[in-house]
């Protein structure tokens, strides 16, 4: 037993040896994207599959090594890296990093190409490359009839590279590179079948919606840079002392690493609470610079709200969630990888990464939680009446992301990250299952025209069932535990002065659980049980090849076993037990806890759910599922032929049309913007720029040229006479100068 | 000794005569000769100043001008001959093709 523990606690490659190779994890998929994208057409299908899959497999192996290295405790010495912003003894445990040097610098501003892997990014590395590899494998079969296969795999590899950059970045700017990169890859893949104008439009919609969020993200980054500058000018030794740093070390860190590294921001967060007795606290006004007059706390709230808008764009939250359901226009593996498992969780990752800053602002936290709850409920209600299997799953993704945002907003970062992990497994499984259903049924996506697939697609059915139960929240699957961990934390954490948020969000959470159970059961029952619909496209579905079923089985297996993470098996430092994942993430989240304790902005509770809590959550989920089963197995089949009441039709139509949110946006945003754009086009572009400036310049030049060309007579003696006159004039001028 | 002013006046007169010829004569050969006249007026100026200062730089410059004038005469006469062969005339008023 000790031998096994020792084996897992000793990284096969020592951390300090492995650290310089961290860049390879990004480089491999990038190389794969380059080879597939440039030479893919000549390489042929099989070679492209080989290159793309092996690039991801290589990245997975390296990620595994990196993950192993972050847990290395060989000989009782825990792996640690020096903190550039802290005192010498203040090391970051359970993390490895490597700085490849300055990326760019201007004045005293500097951004380094630094990579950091700790437990949070380590587990995400495994999710991205592991699930990414399964989805690549699945795609080799799913895209077997598509001529654009090389483009597809190039984009997929590019996406993985960008996502890995996002996760491993040790500063905000590099994270933003990955943030934009995944947005671009998502755009390319949603509009993959660009000859269909609806799909091309869906890609554009996703891109434009994301740009709105990205803009907020950039502004927030600028605000943070200004705040760090103000902090480094105003802080006194007590501030630095309370953050475990000193002025010399902190300024040295700023010079070496730049102001936007996460470790530096963490130190600032640690110094900002009131209790430190230093010169700077949340209520201190900033003295100089563009932010002069605003308090640190106020700026921090604004920054976090802007980050929320940025995260809402990427993670499909209100008000920017509208792109995600349309993103289902892309190939199904894309929906599974990008729009369910990885990219859309970037917002949750961002807030976990910046947790120490987030806990400084209860207002921002409450906003995040409420936005998450509202998004989640709205998406769940829309999912009730969608008939497209991928659309239902898309709305359920929005809903689950809302649950993660609730967790982040209430300070249960570990549970949000855990739900991110379990959701990645079961939602990828659900999407790939939906893809398998489509593949075997002539690309039919309408669940009303499927049915009875449990006999024909055994593997797909079994895995879909497992992942449906997982997302529904039925014991003993991972989804139950991760969702319940969030709701428990939400219920027991309290934001300063905003106590109503916990109760409100918790009640919403229970409602969402019931809704989730209802619509997921509906999808499962309509697709797999009952009789085959008479409107089905093909009479008999065929089960997909093992390239597609194997990833399904692995993912279904993972969505069961990840429940281990939620079990209270690890000893807590103050006695008692704590969930594995909380223990696992504690090195990453410790600064946030310290800040929350010092600033008293949020009271974090660490109790584990009691039996009653589990029972309530389980009963709520079960009631939702039972309602769906009753309605779709007993009630509706019995009602066939009878007229539907008018109000039921109206409700269904409203939900089916997504509560007319798209139409609302069309009316209040898109139309006015288009109108202004039309005016600008006609007046500024067509009239001022095109007619007056461009054509005007050409007209004047032409006319002047026509006049001046008369002077060119071709008579050499006339030219010579002019030269002579000019020289004479010069001589006379010189003479006059000399004489006067 | 003749004062330098006389040399310079002579050179100026030669130069003006040359320039007048360049501007008004229509025969390309005469125009050439007038150009030579102008060059030699310049040479005279160089030599006069060289004498005044008592150094060799003016002499060197005059030699350069002579060398350049020789090259110019060779190329210019070749062009004149070529023009005469193709057009049957060396009248500069007739050669006005380089215009709008």
Q: What is the mean pLDDT of each run of 10 residues along chain B (100 residues)?
A: 90 93 90 93 93 90 94 92 89 78
Q: Burial of A422 by CB count in 10 Å (0-12 exposed, 13-18 middle, 19+ buried)?
A: buried
For residue A439, the tally of other CB atoms under 10 A from its CB is 24
Pairing of β A602-603 and β A80-82: unpaired
For residue A409, the tally of other CB atoms under 10 A from its CB is 29
A368-424: pLDDT as tens digits:
999 999 999 999 988 888 888 888 999 999 999 999 999 999 889 999 999 999 999
Within a domain: residue B53?
yes
Answer whether B26's CB lies under 8 Å from B41's CB.
no
Asked if the C-beta of B24 comes within 8 angstroms of chain A's C-beta atoms, the answer is yes
A100-123: pLDDT as tens digits:
888 888 888 889 999 999 999 999
For residue A80, the tally of other CB atoms under 10 A from its CB is 15
Select from B16, B17, B20, B22 the residue whose CB has the most chain A CBs within 10 Å, as the one to mutate to test that interface: B22
pLDDT of residue B100: 61
Rounded CA-CA distance A486/A121 in Å is 20
Number of domains present in the structure of chain B: 1
pLDDT of residue A377: 92
Q: What is the mean pLDDT of residues A148-165?
A: 92
Does residue A534 register a pLDDT over 70?
yes
A174-210: pLDDT as tens digits:
999 999 999 999 999 998 988 888 889 889 989 989 9
pLDDT of residue A670: 84
CB-closest option in A717, A721, A724 to B92: A717
A484 contacts: CB under 8 Å, gap ≥ 6: A473, A566, A609, A613, A614, A617
DSSP of A389-436? HHHHHHHHHHHHHHHHHHHHHTT-HHHHHHHHHHHHHHHHHHHHHHHH
Instruction: Dihedral sign for Cα A280, A285, A286, A287, please.
Output: negative
Q: Which of A125, A142, A158, A143 is nearest to A55 (CA)?
A: A158
Select from A707, A708, A712, A716 the residue whose CB has the most chain B CBs within 10 Å, as the one to mutate to test that interface: A716
| Phi, psi (degrees; rounded to nearest 5) at A707 | -70, -45
Select from A704, A707, A709, A715 the residue whose CB has the most chain B CBs within 10 Å, as the one to mutate to test that interface: A715
Does residue A610 register a pLDDT over 80?
no
> What element of type H or E holds B51?
helix B28-53
Asked if the C-beta of A705 comes within 8 angstroms of chain B's C-beta atoms, the answer is no
A305-353: pLDDT as tens digits:
999 999 999 998 988 888 888 888 888 888 888 888 888 889 999 999 9
Does residue A1 register a pLDDT over 80?
no
Rounded CA-CA distance A413/A606 in Å is 12
Peptide bond into A319 cis (omega under 30): yes
Confidence of residue A12 (pLDDT cuts 50, 70, 90): confident
Task: Kindly determine whether residue B96 and residue A709, on different chains, have CB atoms separated by under 8 Å.
Answer: no
Which domain range does residue B71 map to?
26-91
Rounded CA-CA distance A222/A194 in Å is 36
The tokens describing A699, both together, are 């007209």
The C-alpha of A705 sits at a distance from chain B's nearest C-alpha, in angstroms, of 11
CB-closest option in A710, A713, A724 to B96: A713
For residue A400, the tally of other CB atoms under 10 A from its CB is 28
| Phi, psi (degrees; rounded to nearest 5) at A148 | -90, 25
Rounded CA-CA distance A180/A335 in Å is 18
Q: What is the mean pLDDT of chain A?
A: 87
Q: Which of A170, A355, A356 is nearest to A269 (CA)?
A: A356
Chain B residue with minimum CA distance to A724 = B19
pTM: 0.81
Asked if the C-beta of A708 comes within 8 angstroms of chain B's C-beta atoms, the answer is no
Answer whether A227's CB lies under 8 Å from A318's CB.
no
Task: Kindly determine whether residue A724 and residue B96, on different chains, have CB atoms separated by under 8 Å.
Answer: no
Highest mean pLDDT, choosing among A14-23, A70-79, A312-321, A370-379: A370-379
How far apart, in Å, are the Cα atoms of B76 and each of A112, B32, B36, B66, B84? Answer: 67, 8, 11, 15, 12
The tokens describing B68, both together, are 């350049």
At residue A277's C-alpha, the angle toward residues A275 and A279, to 5°, is 125
Question: How many beta-carbon pairs below 8 A join chains A and B?
Answer: 27
Select from B17, B23, B92 the residue whose CB has the most chain A CBs within 10 Å, as the one to mutate to test that interface: B23
Percent of chain A with pLDDT over 90: 32
CATH number where B53 lies = 1.10.287.3510
Chain A residue with minimum CA distance to B35 = A720
Q: Which of A380, A637, A370 is nearest to A507 (CA)?
A: A370
Query: Across the strands, what pairs with A93?
Result: A80
Asked if the C-beta of A720 comes within 8 angstroms of chain B's C-beta atoms, the answer is yes
Answer whether A589's CB lies under 8 Å from A629's CB.
no
CB-closest option in B22, B95, B99 to A712: B99
In chain A, how many H helices and how many E strands?
32, 8
Peptide bond into A476 cis (omega under 30): yes
pLDDT of residue A73: 81
The beta-strand segments (E) located in chain B are: none
The C-alpha of A738 sits at a distance from chain B's nearest C-alpha, in angstroms, of 18
DSSP of A429-498? HHHHHHHHHHHHTTT--BGGG---HHHH-HHHHHHHHHHHHHHHT-TTSHHHHHHHHHHHHHHH-EETT-
Q: Which of A348, A387, A598 is nearest to A482 (CA)?
A: A348
If you search the block for the tokens 């499984």, which residue do you land on? A429
Answer whether A430's CB lies under 8 Å from A462's CB.
no
Rounded CA-CA distance B100/B92 in Å is 18
Rounded CA-CA distance A190/A206 in Å is 8
Rounded CA-CA distance A21/A690 in Å is 53
Taking 3-state DSSP, the helix, strand and coil percentages for chain A, each rounded to the nearest 5, stand at: 75, 5, 20
Contacts of A721 in chain B (CB under 8 A): 23
Contacts of B27 in chain A (CB under 8 A): none
Task: Kindly determine whether residue B23 and residue A716, on different chains, have CB atoms separated by under 8 Å.
Answer: no
pLDDT of residue B71: 94
What is the widest separation between alpha-carbon atoms in chain A? 119
pLDDT of residue A737: 94
Q: Which of A113, A23, A4, A6 is nearest to A66 (CA)?
A: A23
Contacts of B93 in chain A (CB under 8 A): 715
Rounded CA-CA distance A315/A454 in Å is 33
Within a domain: residue B37?
yes
Is the complex ipTM higher than 0.95?
no
Answer whether A242's CB lies under 8 Å from A271's CB.
yes
Within a domain: residue B16?
no
Task: Kindly determine whether residue B98 and residue A714, on different chains, have CB atoms separated by under 8 Å.
Answer: yes
Answer whether A224's CB lies under 8 Å from A172's CB.
yes
If you search the block for the tokens 């090849």, which residue do you land on? A545
Answer whether A492's CB lies under 8 Å from A582's CB.
no
Rounded CA-CA distance A60/A50 in Å is 15
Rounded CA-CA distance A459/A433 in Å is 9
Chain B residue with minimum CA distance to A707 = B100
Task: Kindly determine whether residue B96 and residue A715, on different chains, have CB atoms separated by under 8 Å.
Answer: yes
* The three-state (H, E, C) secondary structure of A58-79, written as one string: HHHHHHHHHHHHHCCCHHHCCC
The C-alpha of A699 sits at a distance from chain B's nearest C-alpha, in angstroms, of 19
* The three-state (H, E, C) secondary structure of A577-638, written as one string: EEEHHHHHHHHHHHHHHHHHHHHCCEECCCCCCCHHHHHHHHHHHHHHHHHHHHHHHHHHHH
A663-675: pLDDT as tens digits:
888 888 888 888 9
Task: Kindly determine whether residue B22 and residue A712, on different chains, have CB atoms separated by under 8 Å.
Answer: no
Contacts of A725 in chain B (CB under 8 A): none
Answer whether A149's CB lies under 8 Å from A331's CB.
no
| Phi, psi (degrees; rounded to nearest 5) at A432 | -65, -35
Q: Which of A463, A710, A548 is nearest to A136 (CA)?
A: A548
The C-alpha of B15 sits at a distance from chain A's nearest C-alpha, in angstroms, of 12
The C-alpha of B22 sits at a distance from chain A's nearest C-alpha, in angstroms, of 7
Answer whether A150's CB lies under 8 Å from A48's CB.
yes
Does residue A688 register a pLDDT over 80?
yes
Contacts of A710 in chain B (CB under 8 A): 100
Within a domain: residue B68?
yes
Within a domain: residue B17?
no
Answer whether A379's CB lies under 8 Å from A456's CB.
no
Within a domain: residue B61?
yes
Task: Kindly determine whether residue B24 and residue A712, on different chains, have CB atoms separated by under 8 Å.
Answer: no
Name the least confident of A203-207, A248-252, A446-450, A521-525.
Answer: A446-450
Task: Kindly determine whether residue B100 and residue A712, on different chains, have CB atoms separated by under 8 Å.
Answer: yes
Task: Kindly determine whether residue A720 and residue B22, on different chains, have CB atoms separated by under 8 Å.
Answer: yes
The C-alpha of B67 sits at a distance from chain A's nearest C-alpha, in angstroms, of 23
Which A residues in the span 312-341 are in contact with B, Cβ-Cβ below 8 Å? none
pLDDT of residue A51: 92
Within a domain: residue B15?
no
Rounded CA-CA distance A117/A65 in Å is 11
Answer whether A53's CB lies under 8 Å from A133's CB.
yes
pLDDT of residue A276: 67
The tokens describing A611, both together, are 């039996």
pLDDT of residue A532: 76
């Amino acid at each position: 037993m000790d031998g096994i523990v020792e084996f897992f606690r000793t990284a096969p490659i020592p951390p300090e040896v492995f650290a310089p190779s961290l860049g390879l994890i990004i480089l491999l998929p990038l190389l794969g994207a380059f080879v597939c994208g440039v030479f893919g057409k000549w390489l042929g299908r099989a070679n492209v599959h080989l290159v793309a899959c092996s690039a991801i497999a290589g990245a997975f192996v390296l990620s595994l090594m990196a993950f192993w290295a972050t847990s290395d405790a060989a000989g009782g010495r825990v792996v640690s890296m020096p903190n550039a912003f802290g005192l010498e003894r203040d090391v970051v445990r359970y993390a490895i990093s490597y700085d490849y040097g300055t990326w760019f610098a201007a004045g005293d501003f500097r951004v380094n190409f630094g990579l950091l892997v700790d437990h949070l990014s380590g587990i995400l590395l495994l999710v991205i490359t592991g699930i990414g590899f399964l989805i690549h494998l699945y795609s080799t079969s799913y895209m077997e009839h598509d001529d654009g296969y090389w483009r597809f795999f190039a984009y997929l590899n590019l996406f993985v590279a960008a996502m890995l950059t996002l996760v491993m970045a040790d500063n905000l700017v590099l994270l933003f590179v990955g943030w934009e990169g995944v947005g671009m890859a998502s755009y390319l893949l949603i509009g993959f079948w660009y000859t269909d104008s609806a799909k091309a439009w869906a890609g554009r919609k996703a891109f434009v919606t994301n740009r709105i969020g990205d803009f907020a993200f950039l502004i927030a980054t600028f605000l943070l840079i200004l705040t760090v500058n103000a902090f480094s000018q105003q802080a006194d030794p007590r501030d630095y002392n309370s953050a475990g740093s000193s002025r010399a070390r902190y300024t040295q860190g700023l010079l070496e690493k730049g102001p936007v590294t996460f470790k530096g921001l963490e130190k600032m967060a640690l110094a900002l609470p009131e209790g430190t007795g230093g010169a700077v606290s949340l209520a201190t006004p900033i003295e100089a610079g563009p932010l002069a007059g605003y308090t640190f706390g106020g700026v921090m709230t604004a920054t976090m709200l802007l980050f929320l808008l940025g995260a809402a764009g990427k993670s499909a939250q209100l008000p920017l969630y509208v792109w995600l359901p349309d993103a289902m226009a892309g190939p199904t593996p894309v929906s599974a990888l990008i729009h369910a498992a990885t990219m859309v969780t970037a917002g949750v990752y961002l807030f976990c990464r910046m947790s120490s800053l987030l806990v400084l602002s209860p207002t921002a936290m409450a906003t995040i939680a409420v936005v998450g709850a509202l998004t989640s409920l709205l998406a769940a209600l829309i999912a009730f009446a969608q008939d497209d299997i991928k659309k239902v799953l898309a709305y359920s993704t929005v809903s689950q992301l809302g649950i993660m945002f609730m967790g982040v907003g209430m300070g249960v970062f570990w549970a949000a990250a855990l739900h991110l992990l379990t959701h990645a497994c079961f939602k990828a499984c659900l999407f790939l299952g939906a893809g398998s259903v489509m593949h075997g049924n002539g690309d039919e996506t309408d669940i009303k025209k499927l049915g009875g697939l449990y006999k024909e697609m055994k593997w797909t059915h079994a895995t879909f069932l497992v992942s449906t139960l997982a997302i529904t929240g039925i014991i003993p699957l991972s989804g139950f535990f991760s969702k319940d961990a969030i709701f428990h934390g939400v219920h027991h954490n309290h934001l300063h002065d905003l106590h109503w948020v916990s109760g409100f969000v918790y009640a919403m959470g229970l409602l969402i659980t019931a809704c989730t159970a209802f619509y997921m059961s509906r999808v499962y029952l309509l697709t797999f049980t009952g009789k085959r619909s008479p409107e089905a496209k093909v009479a008999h579905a065929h089960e997909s090849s093992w390239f597609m079923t194997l990833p399904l089985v692995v993912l279904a297996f993972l969505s069961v076993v990840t429940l281990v993470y939620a079990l209270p098996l690890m000893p807590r430092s103050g006695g008692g037990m704590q969930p594995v994942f909380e223990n696992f993430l504690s090195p990453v989240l410790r600064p946030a806890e310290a800040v929350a304790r010092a600033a008293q902005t949020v009271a974090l509770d660490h109790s584990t759910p009691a039996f009653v809590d589990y029972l309530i959550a389980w009963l709520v989920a079960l009631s939702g599922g039972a309602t769906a089963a009753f309605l779709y197995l007993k009630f509706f089949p019995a009602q066939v032929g009878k007229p539907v009441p008018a109000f039921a039709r109206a409700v269904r139509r409203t939900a089916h049309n997504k509560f007319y949110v798209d139409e609302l946006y069309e009316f209040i945003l898109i139309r006015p913007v288009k109108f202004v754009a039309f005016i600008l086009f006609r007046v500024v572009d067509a009239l001022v720029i095109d007619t007056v400036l461009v054509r005007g310049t050409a007209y004047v030049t032409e006319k002047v040229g026509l006049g001046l060309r008369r002077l060119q007579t071709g008579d050499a003696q006339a030219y010579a006479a002019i030269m002579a006159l000019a020289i004479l004039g010069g001589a006379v001028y010189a003479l006059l100068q000399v004489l006067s | 000794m003749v004062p330098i002013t006389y040399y310079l006046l002579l050179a100026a007169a030669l130069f003006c005569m040359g320039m007048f010829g360049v501007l008004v004569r229509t025969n390309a050969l005469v125009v050439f000769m007038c150009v030579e006249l102008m060059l030699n007026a310049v040479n005279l100026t160089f030599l006069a100043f060289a004498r005044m200062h008592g150094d060799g730089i003016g002499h060197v410059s005059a030699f350069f001008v002579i060398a350049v004038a020789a090259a110019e005469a060779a190329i210019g006469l070749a062009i004149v001959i070529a023009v005469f062969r193709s057009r049957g005339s060396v009248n500069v008023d007739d050669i006005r093709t380089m215009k709008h």
